Amino acid sequence: MPSELIKLWFTVALAIVLAAATVAVYRVPAGEARVASSDAGALLFQAQGCGGCHTIAGVAEFASIGPELTNLREAAGERVAGMSAMAYVTQSIREPQAFTVQGFGADLMPTFELSDAEVESLVAFLLAER
C-alpha cells in the first residue's frame, strides 16, 4: 500500500511539473517583440486543451462540446455584422461569453489567462488556411 501511495504522489507531482513547464514555454516576457505565429498558436491550442472541446480537421477530430473550428476563417467574419474575423475570434478568446454559437451553451467556454502574444498566435492558428 505505501509503495502505491508513493507512485501516486510521484505521478501527480510529475504531472504538475510538466503542466507548469508547458505553460512557462508559451509565456512571452513583457517588453519583448511579439510576432503572431500560427505554429505557436497550434502548440498553444494543444497545450491549453482546446482540442478537448473543439474539432479542427487534422488537429483535433473527436471533440463535440464546443463549436467545430475547421472553417472558422470563413465563418467568423460573418458572425457579427461589421466585425472582422480576426476581431471576432480575438474577442471570443478574451471574453468567451461575448458570443454564443447556436447549439452551444453560453457558459461552456472557460476564460483563459493568456498574454497578448498568446492570443495573437492562437488567432493566427485558428484563422490559418486549411
- What is the helix, strand, coil percentage profile of the chain, to 5? 50, 0, 50
pLDDT value, residue 17: 43
pLDDT value, residue 58: 84
Report d(CA 121, CA 123) in Å as an integer. 5
- pTM of the model as a whole: 0.69
Residue 79 has pLDDT above 60, yes or no: yes
Q: What is the mean pLDDT of residues 112-125?
A: 96
Buried b / exposed e along 14-42 (16+ C-beta atoms within 10 A): eeeeeeeeeeeebebeeeeeeebbeebbb
Fold exhibited by the domain 37-126: Cytochrome Bc1 Complex; Chain D, domain 2 (1.10.760)
Q: What is the mean pLDDT of residues 69-93?
A: 95
- The residue extents of the domains of the chain are 37-126
